Structure 1
Amino acid sequence: MQMRSETINELAKGMHVFRKQLKQPMRDANNPFFGKPYVPLENVTEAIDEAISGTGLAYISEPKGNIMYTLIMHDSGQFMYVEGSPIVVGGKKDAQAYGSALTYARRYSLSTAFGISSDKDDDGNGASYASKPPQQIKSQPRQRQQQKPPQNKPVQTSRAIMVRAKELNYPDLDALLLLGDEKATQVMIEFTEGKGK
């Protein structure tokens, strides 16, 4: 797949105008699993559609394999594919779960492609310290002795998610443990929606 046209100068000008016009969308949806706010897909697309006016730009989301891509096109014929989020289907492997995974991947892919701030910035703590909340890390006293460099550890899902998954009788706890918090949360949302809880 060709990832972009030979030149993208007109597309870049259009993106510059777009960025000037973009108003970040509201985080007014609530994650039912953790009770945290997020920007739903309809707010992402609404923000993009309002800011894209007069730029010569258009876009579509395209799943290719297990990755969601955003194709940004300019009326000059120039284009660019932006590789986005993986499409991860968890829980039940039915049409509803696949649709939910597509929506989730599309939201993150569009946000990436167009510079939408759809999640609260936690300074990488969610990815770096999956099993310890950032408050615990910040409150640790400094040690005067030389510390060992951090080891690359595999991503692990936090204990809270695992406890809730066990309570809900999630069928594959071992696989869930290796997903990390963000993906495990999405899997558990899909699982609970599929169970009607």
Structure 2
Amino acid sequence: MTEENTTYSGLFEALSALQDAIEQPKKDASNPMFKSSYVTLDAVIASINAAKRKVGAKIFWHNEPRERVMWTVIDGYGERLEIQGAPIAGDLGNRGTNSAQAEGSAETYARRYSLSMVFGIASDVDDDGNAAPKGQPKAQQKTQSQPKNQLNSMFGGVSKAFRDKNGFTEEAMYQAISQQFNTNINSFYTFNNLNDQQKEAIINWLRAGIK
């Protein structure tokens, strides 16, 4: 049932109604490396457009890359809203793709996270408990973790060398890692919560970016 005849007093009221009507899309893409799933950009856009039709919100949105940052611009009811989103990772040249493909992938990732943030969509990775060994509860696994293990130390050294080699800020480095592995790693804390196999994959990828 749609509400196409609904009248809103302004852009913010219409946007609020749209956000309330959002139905969380299914995580319809898989990440074999992390044995996880996430929401694709197409699914994010479909969810937004479906909610827009449902509440009859007469708004128009688009994404604009500005100085390596993805912005979401929303127009409607004589008003405009511009929201800063995710940074666009640079082409590192070590992904087995050409520059155009790498740039397209970076922009797709930035659009997905930026739109999800604006419209309240949960597009982050869901590992379905795969990080824990089979038959072992997550809580038990956590008590056996070693926060200051060898992989964490290796990551510290490799990540610094990677940033120095490529002229990346720490934020841009984490953005590039997140894009490469289709997950949300934005700090050392989130890296520390990964399992050893995932940490090794990231460290090896960073090493490739140093050579």
Q: Is the 8 A contact 1:33 1:185 kept in 2?
A: no
**Which of residues 143, 152, 155 is equivalent to 1:139?**
143
Shift of 1:68: 0.1
Identify if the C-alpha distance between structure 1 residues 71 and 185 changes in structure 2 by more than 3 Å, giving closer, same or farther.
closer
User: What RMSD, in angstroms, separates the aligned Cα atoms of the two structures?
Assistant: 3.4
**Larger relative helix fraction:** 2
**Aligned sequence identity (%):** 35
Structure 1, unaligned runs of 5 or more:
1-8, 123-133, 141-155, 163-171, 192-197
- TM-score, length of structure 2 as denominator length: 0.57
Choose from 176, 186, 190 the match for 1:183: 176
**Structure 1 segments of 4 or more deviating over 4 A?**
134-138, 156-159
Q: Is the 8 A contact 1:25 1:44 kept in 2?
A: yes
For the residues of structure 2 that align with 1:14 and 1:40, how far apart are their CA atoms? Answer: 25
Q: Which of 106, 112, 121 is equivalent to 2:117?
A: 112
Q: CA deviation at 1:21?
A: 1.8
Q: How many residues align?
A: 144
Aligned partner (choices 28, 51, 59) of residue 57 of structure 1: 59
Partners in 1 of 2:88 and 2:52 — Cα distance? Answer: 26
Specify the code of the residue in structure 2 equivalent to 1:56: K
Distance 1:99 1:40, change over 3 A: same
Aligned partner of 2:83 in structure 1 is: 82
5+ long unaligned stretches in structure 2: 1-8, 128-137, 145-151, 165-169, 183-204, 206-211
Helix, strand or coil at the partner of 2:43: helix
Whether the aligned pair in 2 keeps the contact of 1:30 and 1:36 (CA below 8 Å) is: yes
Q: Which residue of 2 aligns with 1:66?
A: 68
Distance 2:36 2:80 in 1: 36
